[in-house]
Amino acid sequence: MTLQDAYLLAPEMAIAGLALIVILLDLVFKDKRIIFAVAIFGLFVPVLLTWMLLGNVQACQDGVPDAFLVDLCSGGNLTAMFGTLVVDQFALFFKTLVLAIVLIVLLGSIDYIKRIHSLQGEFYALILLSALGAMLLPATTELVSIYISLELIALPLVALTTFLRDLRSSEAGMKFLVLGAISSALLLYGMALVLTYTGSTDLKVIASATSESKFGPETYALFLGVVLILAGFGFKVGFVPFQMWIPDVYEGAPTPVTAYLSVASKAAGFAIMVRVFLLVFGQYDLGWEILFMLLSTLSMFVGNFVAITQNNIKRMLAYSTIAQAGYMLIGIAVLTDPASNNQILGASSILFYLAGYAVTNLAAFFAVIVISNNTGSEEIDSLIGMGRRAPVISAILTISMLSLIGIPPTVGFMGKLYLFNAAIQTGLVWLVVIGVLNSVLSAYYYVRVIRKLYSPSADSIEKIRSSFPVRLAVGISGFGVVGLGILPGPVIDAAKISVKAVLVAL
């Protein structure tokens, strides 16, 4: 590793160093508030380093790269680690998103993790280490690096899933570990088949080697390899038929871990799917758009229909994430359609939808945490009367549910509008009709939550209490749900610029 490589990897090295510092401080200080403060304020170091890299990337694109990085500037982007990692606007977009998610998760978890007092240091460190993988993954341009980054995300989350150390949590961790190992095996086997066909694990070389490929006997091995890689990605983002782990893991894991898993892992997974299919496999006609249309339709219907039957709000939100993955696959179908010239529109719609979904789901989960910490229950019926006991928290949870349906002026509405517009311009009108029908279907169980919140209750009317960091986390995410719905322009523009940075490499 050269000094230039270290500089380009500075945000990841900073967050790894922060995780190590948290572990060491946990050995010294009994007051866990010190560790919490270090973890929160320490996050600003990788944030600043990420913004510094944004300036370096812009200088490279303007043709006036810094003298220190001039050797690594190629095609308007900066490359590191012998070309296996790229620093461009696309990677920096997701680094920023992941760091924002981690900040909100750490703030919102402080009350909940008091029940695991002896493991608080490990909790913060494992979240940070998982974030390290999530920051690396969107920047990877080589198959082995992709695999390593995915495992960096998953393995800390397996440990975090078991932190409650009860039967349900242990079962969730075991399912996550076993099914995750199976998906990793499928992913590696698919990568081996692609390597056999192309002779390389570098995405640019693979793109060049497969640029003229057509579906036929000579490409069966390649097609199977890509399908197996897609199966590995499918497990990480949770679309049908690779969703079987999600309900039990989401229910059994500590709720802050579930919140983090539902957005960070999904964001990183879709990020690498966009890069891989935009840069490589979406460039030739093997019918990927048909496959993604089918997966999208199945995910939306399965997620929404099963969510209707749930009485536990974490399981309901788990099936909701499956349906949400189905909506995002509409964007993947757009960018892989060979007859379409809307790759930028399709890919940027996914990025904007991911950002909006992140703030929406975090707001929902941390509102649930505040309520469940006081009621001791995660059942939907336990929400009865909360509109009176916790008016602000209930209002934010209501806004989150409306956003997940796609009701204006929330970010969920703007996300679906942007996504459906991309599909319509590509000619996928029937897929948009299915998406709209599923949005109407989802209203049944989302409105059920709202109805419970504002139903009169004969039980206690004592006010719900929470600490300032938790209220801050709920407030930031709730503000994001409305703010990005009213003013989506800056994030949409950033998403378009990010996608164009990937296309520069073509």
How many residues are listed for the chain in this entry? 506
Q: What is the pLDDT of residue 283?
A: 60
Phi, then psi, of 82 in degrees rounded to 5 = 60, 35
Bond into 241 cis (ω within 30): yes
Distance between CA atoms of residues 438 and 430, nearest Å: 12
Distance between CA atoms of residues 314 and 380, nearest Å: 9
pLDDT at 234 over 80: yes
Q: Helical H runs in 376-428?
A: 386-389, 391-405, 411-426
pLDDT tens figures, 128-151: 999 999 999 988 888 899 999 999
pLDDT at 208 over 80: no
pLDDT tens figures, 9-53: 899 999 999 999 999 998 888 878 888 899 999 999 999 999 988
Confidence of residue 441 (pLDDT cuts 50, 70, 90): very high
Confidence of residue 506 (pLDDT cuts 50, 70, 90): low
pLDDT at 215 over 70: no
Q: Is the dihedral of CA 11, 12, 17, 22 positive or negative?
A: positive
Average pLDDT over all residues of the chain: 86
pLDDT tens figures, 397-421: 999 999 999 998 999 999 999 999 9
pLDDT at 285 over 70: no
Q: What is the pLDDT of residue 75?
A: 67
For residues 93, 99, 100, 103, the Cα torsion angle rounded to the nearest 10 degrees is 180
Q: Which residue reads 């940075």 in tokens?
A: 501
Percent of the chain clearing pLDDT 90 (strictly above): 38
424-432: long-range pairs with CB below 8 Å, 24+: 425/342, 425/345, 426/333, 426/334, 426/337, 426/339, 426/340, 426/342, 426/346, 427/339, 427/340, 428/293, 428/330, 428/333, 428/334, 428/337, 431/293, 431/296, 431/297, 431/330, 431/333, 432/330
The mean pLDDT value for 341-369 works out to 89
Q: Which residue reads 């199977």 in tokens?
A: 224
Q: What is the pLDDT of residue 430?
A: 92
Q: What is the pLDDT of residue 434?
A: 94
pLDDT tens figures, 83-107: 788 888 888 999 999 999 999 999 9
pLDDT tens figures, 237-260: 888 888 888 998 998 888 889 999
Q: Is the dihedral of CA 399, 404, 405, 411 positive or negative?
A: positive
Distances in Å between the Cα of 474 and the Cα atoms of 4, 39, 130, 267, 467 are 39, 18, 22, 20, 11
